Amino acid sequence: MMDAVNLLGFDLQGLAAYCEQLGEKRFRATQLFRWIHQKGAADFAQMSDLAKSLRDKLAGRAHITALPVISEHVSADGTIKWLFDVGQGNAVEAVYIPEDDRATLCISSQAGCAVGCRFCSTGHQGFSRNLETWEIIAQLWYAEHSLRQRLNTDERVISNVVMMGMGEPLQNYGALVPALRMMLDDHGYGLSRRRVTVSTSGVVPMIDRLRDDAPVALAVSLHAPNDPLRDQLVPLNRKYPIAELLDSCNRYLERAPRDFITFEYCMLDEVNDTPELARELIALLKGKVSCKINLIPFNPFPASGLKRSSNERVKAFADLLIQAGIITTVRKTRGDDIDAACGQLAGEVQDRTRVHLRMVRAPVVVQRGAASPSTPREGAAPASTANPPGPRP
Ligand code: SF4
């Protein structure tokens, strides 16, 4: 089994090429793919419509192996959080969120994350490595088929997948796209493009590539209406500022399965939740990008130095957006009792990049009203007027 290949890593095209290498017809791959992803089979002996000769060949050369589960926590509201072992001291999380009309699985794309968003628990842990395709899809494979068993059903359980767990999916593009294709494949999970969402902090060139390779629903972590503030909350903004990001969103919409982009906006007390910033957000987006805004209650953790906006402030912010005609939702927090809410996925990460050391712990500087950038764009000469982090006004 040392050099045996894990078939969870192949999309249908890859599996067909693999079957050809074994001297088999390409159509055998479709049968095999269905057994793996639609029926959850992990044992070639179960695959009764495959020729015995093929099953024997596969048994010596390949395997179908899930990620080891370190822990499972079930919330009072039905949310389930799994911690998967991805080796070398790293672990990633996936969360199942059942609702009346859908069941969503939130999965991870990296062990840790190198982007280092200020409000994100994963970002504070640093980055270890990209997950491979099989490690991404194994989270869905395990969740789907273990849930079918416990719910005693042959019907599909998971109706939606969101790439919003640990990691920036577009910084692991090569592994992400085959995994997305498996989710969309009618012989695999058969999810429509509207029901698979990639959430990104704004890796502009990869948004353009995703549009061509696997245009699924797109969510963008915005969190601020101007560059000075977003530079501090989402450091990737220094490389791809808001104007470039919004241009790429508009290009994406030409092929997107939905006619809007979802902008995620984590509500941080007295940092990005003021009426002035709501108005700035309206001016930024209204009539410029077809969008919906999802306001996310912040889940505080000690190292962030940030606080959750009160319900009143969230409501006031949302009301301004709604009055301006922007579709706005406030995310319900789920799985609070098992730390499964957005931004709380912590896993375990052997930080190889020391991102956590580079993250500035000082308070976020809030500039009232529109302002010129306080931090230089990546690659630009440092401006002498750049504002270092300092006390919040
Ligand atoms: S919010 Fe997303 S991109 Fe930002 S640090 Fe967390 S996992 Fe990375």
What pLDDT score was predicted for residue 3? 75
Residue with CA at minimum distance from ligand 1 atom 5: 123
Report the DSSP pairing between strands 90-98 and 103-106: antiparallel
CATH code, residues 69-358: 3.20.20.70
pTM: 0.89
Is 123's C-beta closer than 6 angstroms to any atom of ligand 1? Answer: yes
CA distance 153 to 117: 40
Q: Are 296 and 264 in contact (CB under 8 A)?
A: yes
* 49 backbone dihedrals φ, ψ, rounded to 5°: -95, 5
Residues of the chain within CATH 3.20.20.70 domain(s) are 69-358
CA distance 76 to 65: 30
Distance of CA 78 to the CA centre of its chain: 21
270 part of the active site: no
Nearest Cα neighbor of 342 from 253, 232, 219, 257 is 219
Give the number of other Cβ atoms within 10 Å of residue 121's Cβ.
Answer: 21
Q: How far is the CA of 110 from the centre of ligand 1 (A)?
A: 10
Residue 369 annotated as binding? no
CA distance 115 to 217: 21
26: amino acid identity, one letter: R
CA distance 55 to 35: 12
> Would you state the structure tokens that stand for residue 200, as one six-digit string?
């990104």
- Edge to edge, the sheet with strand 80-87 lists 69-74, 80-87, 90-98, 103-106, 160-163, 196-200, 217-221, 261-267, 291-297, 327-330
Catalytic residue among 93, 132, 144, 280: 93
Q: The CATH number of 5-63 is which of 3.20.20.100, 1.10.150.530, 2.60.200.20, 3.40.50.300? A: 1.10.150.530
Residue 12 annotated as binding? no
Residue 20 annotated as binding? no
What pLDDT score was predicted for residue 343? 56
Residue with CA at minimum distance from ligand 1 atom 7: 167
Ligand 1 pocket test: pick from 93, 129, 168, 360 the residue with the most ligand atoms within 8 Å of its Cβ: 168
Residues of the chain within CATH 1.10.150.530 domain(s) are 5-63
What pLDDT score was predicted for residue 363? 65
Show pLDDT as tens, one digit a residue, over the chain (393 residues): 447 999 999 999 999 999 999 999 989 999 999 999 999 999 999 999 999 989 999 998 999 999 999 999 999 999 999 999 999 999 999 999 999 999 999 999 999 999 999 999 888 889 999 999 999 999 999 999 999 999 999 999 999 999 999 999 999 999 999 999 999 999 999 999 999 999 999 999 999 999 999 999 999 999 999 999 999 999 999 999 999 999 999 999 999 878 899 999 999 999 999 999 999 999 999 999 999 999 999 988 888 899 999 999 999 999 999 999 999 999 887 777 777 665 555 666 777 766 655 565 566 766 554 433 334 344 333 332 222 222 222
Region of 239 (left: φ > 0; alpha: ψ -120 to 50; beta: rest) is: alpha
What pLDDT score was predicted for residue 344? 56
378 part of the active site: no
What pLDDT score was predicted for residue 371? 39
